[in-house]
Structure 1
Amino acid sequence: MPVISTERLTKRYPRVTALDALTIDIGDGVTGLVGANGAGKSTLLKILLGLTEATSGTATVLGHDIVSDGLALRSRVGYMPEHDCLPGDMSATELVVHLARMSGLPTSAARERAADTLRHVGLYEERYRPIGGYSTGMKQRVKLAQALVHDPDVVFLDEPTNGLDPAGRDEMLSLVRRIHTDFGISVLVTSHLLGELERICDGVVIIDGGTLLRSSTVADFTRSSDRLALEVLADPDDALVALADAGLEVVRDGLLLLVALEDDETYDKVRDVVADQELGLVRLAPRRHHIAEVFDEEATRVIS
């Protein structure tokens, strides 16, 4: 049974359609919901949580109908909103304990769960400070902690890396991945940064203008292409000339050289050029597609 399932789910506002007959099935693991700002990602999460009513269509989460069984559904779901919604005068411990108690945990259990969850997200030492004095990264961790404290079966994370610097994004992405690997909780995470989701997700759903462009596993998205990725110690431009002189079709992509893979002999030709010219081989492997490239291809196909 899918963790999340929608059937022709539609949400219309007076002048815009946020979701347009969206039909998807999302299984266990970490799934990325990808789309540009305004693509309908946040709208979908709010409909699945019962915070916004769909115009038409149906959806289930963990087998619960979002309309008729919303209370049971929400008791099994954690939600990390995109916007800053934290009370600045409360400490992280006070807030997370309060929300744990609201989920039905007794006071002692709520305190224990809050301490464990704040330790997991890296806020244990700072847990008694007022949230108003927290950095953006610390506030994001508080929002993640409150989504996890009641031990849900699935969590919805809306743009969890928003406002974070590169180091903060890496740390948050690691935490998101561990939600499933360490605790077995399914994750639906939204982002407009495709490279982030490629690193941590098992599957990706791409939507644009509220319409499904593609839903697939990351492995399928990033399948091998018909080019070899070559990295050498020598100047890439010198290597490009040497490979071209050997009759190989090659283009430069940053520090990489992308060589057209005609057949198995291409490997031998590249090896010989690298050895004869003493270019210094660092890496030679089939190049894999990036999700961003697939997204661009799908968007172009739909437009045309």
Structure 2
Amino acid sequence: MTDEGDVDSRGAPVIRTRRLTKEFPRVRALDDLDLTVGSGVTGLVGANGAGKSTMIKILLGLLPPTSGEAEVLGHDVRTEGAAIRARVGYMPEHDCLPGDVNASEFVVHMGRMSGLPHAVARERAADVLRHVGLAEERYREMGGYSTGMKQRAKLAQALVHDPDLVLLDEPTNGLDPTSREDMLDLVRRIGTDFGIAVLVTSHLLGELERVSDHVIVLDAGRLLRSSATSEFTETTGTLLVEVLGSATERDLLGNALAGRGLRCHPVAGAVEVLPPPDGLHEGSDVRDLVRDTVIDLDLGLVRIQEGRHRIQDVFAPPEEAMQP
């Protein structure tokens, strides 16, 4: 379902679809998709094959839908593709840069393709290359760029014509941890400092929690959920307890807590302690009981913290409860 109230609070929608469907000979990539995207940074998440890239191509007017409607910045994707592409920046997922051209020439060319006069395109290219961190490397041929530099060049060309909306398809694809952090910071700045609406796709759910104001979850071409990011990550009422050691120590603690009347589940390297039934062990009593149990077992306590939902919980099956 869509959360119209949250989108309305972020201004007029920049993207709206109604029963959007795309069928290929052997698969339905999008299935009766109704969604609304507002300003700020919106994350589009789903496993590979969920329909993310197909939707972006339809929004750009590059791929006709089988049925349904879609509008981008008030333009119909079926009949006004050129008008959409004039106002939208697009960063594709795959490497598509000419290796024998330097970044400055490439970004200027893309600015000219978007309708900018030559002098304006050169000025804008210099600005965006500086913003993405390629000012000193702008005259190097892109064939010699690292993966992170190529991603920055692709981002620069998406921004050169000062768009109202940018579509970023897996912008951290192939990046090492440091480059990924830098790219996420750039994505966030586009939505906050530059005031450009952003739709960013990723299959790495934690990334979208960090940079997005709103998250849309697709599953096999269907809308699974559309909510403010804060609603995905709100507190659960549970406690996460982590101790030193391996899964053996984790399970030892969980089973001991279950033996003392607490409901527990293993969660990655921690034990999730659910709220006690009927008010038993309320509030700080639960924390005290956990602490005392850790001490009794002679385990090293790493953390006790309030549990929060994660985007990936939308997809995850429930863990089996620990047994006393």
Fold agreement, TM-score > 0.5: yes
Which residue of 273, 280, 304 maps to 1:259? 273
1:286 and 2:306 matched: yes
Q: How many residues align?
A: 298
Partner of 1:302: none
What amino acid does structure 1 have at the position aligned with 2:307? Answer: R
Shift of 1:108: 2.4
Distance 2:135 2:227 in 1: 37
The secondary structure found in structure 2 opposite 1:296 is coil
Q: Which amino acid aligns with 1:91?
A: N
**Does the alignment pair 1:197 with 2:208?**
yes
% identical equivalent positions: 62
The answer (yes or no) to whether the contact 1:50–1:70 under 8 Å persists in 2 is yes
Change (3 A) 1:51 1:275: same
After superposing the two structures, state which structure 1 stretch, 128-137 or 261-270, moved more: 261-270
Deviation sequence 1:232-291 (CA, Å, 0-9, x none)? 679756755764565433344345332222247242232365279497876443311111
SS in 2 for 1:67: coil
Distance 1:55 1:275 in 2: 61
Inter-CA distance 248–39: structure 2 relative to 1 (3 Å threshold): closer
Which residue is 1:51 aligned to? 62
SS in 2 for 1:229: strand
Report if the CA contact (8 A) 1:60-1:66 is conserved. Answer: yes
**In the alignment, which residue of structure 1 is the partner of 2:315?**
295
Among residues 157, 162, 177, which one is paired with 1:151 in the alignment?
162
* 1:257 partner letter: V
The unaligned stretches of length 5 or more in structure 2 are 1-11, 319-324
Q: Match for 2:136 among 125, 129, 153?
A: 125
Residue 249 of structure 1 aligns with an amino acid whose one-letter code is R
Task: Give how far 1:196 is off.
Answer: 1.6
Partner SS for 1:75: helix
Deviates further, 124-133 or 108-117 = 108-117
**Cα distance, 1:103 vs structure 2:** 1.9
Alignment partners' CA distance in 2, 1:87 and 1:49: 22
What amino acid maps onto 1:256 in structure 2?
A: A
Secondary structure, in 3 states, of the residue corresponding to 1:183? coil
CA distance in 1, matches of 2:258, 2:59: 54
* Aligned counterpart, 1:37: 48
Does 2:32 correspond to 1:3?
A: no
Equivalent residue number for residue 269 of structure 1: 286
Report the equivalent of 1:69. Answer: 80
Change (3 A) 1:256 1:75: same
- Give the alignment partner of residue 263 of structure 2, picking from 249, 266, 282: 249
Q: Which moved more, 1:85-94 or 1:249-258?
A: 249-258
Q: CA deviation at 1:64?
A: 1.5
Q: Which moved more, 1:272-281 or 1:206-215?
A: 272-281
Shift in CA distance, 212/107, structure 1 to aligned 2, threshold 3 Å? same
Change (3 A) 1:46 1:243: same
Task: Tell me the residue number matched to 2:178.
Answer: 167
CA distance in 2, matches of 1:13, 1:191: 23
* Change beyond 3 A, Cα 1:272–1:134: same
Counterpart CA distance in 2 for 1:58 and 1:103 is: 25
Range that drifts further, 66-75 or 89-98: 66-75
Counterpart CA distance in 2 for 1:18 and 1:132 is 34
| Cα RMSD after superposing both structures | 2.5
State the Cα distance separating 1:230 from its structure 2 match: 3.1
Equivalent-residue separation in structure 1 for 2:207 and 2:252 (angstroms): 33
CA distance in 2, matches of 1:94, 1:282: 52
Aligned CA distance change for structure 1 residues 10 and 243 (closer, same or farther; 3 Å):
closer
Q: How far apart are the structure 1 equivalents of 2:275 and 2:316?
A: 23
Task: Report if aligned partners of 2:61, 2:84 keep a CA contact under 8 Å in 1.
Answer: no
In structure 1, C-alpha distance between the alignment counterparts of 2:289 and 2:28, rounded to whole Å: 57
TM-score, normalization by structure 2: 0.83
Distance in 2, matches of 1:273 and 1:56, equals: 55
Q: Indicate conservation of the 8 Å contact 1:156/1:187, yes or no.
A: yes
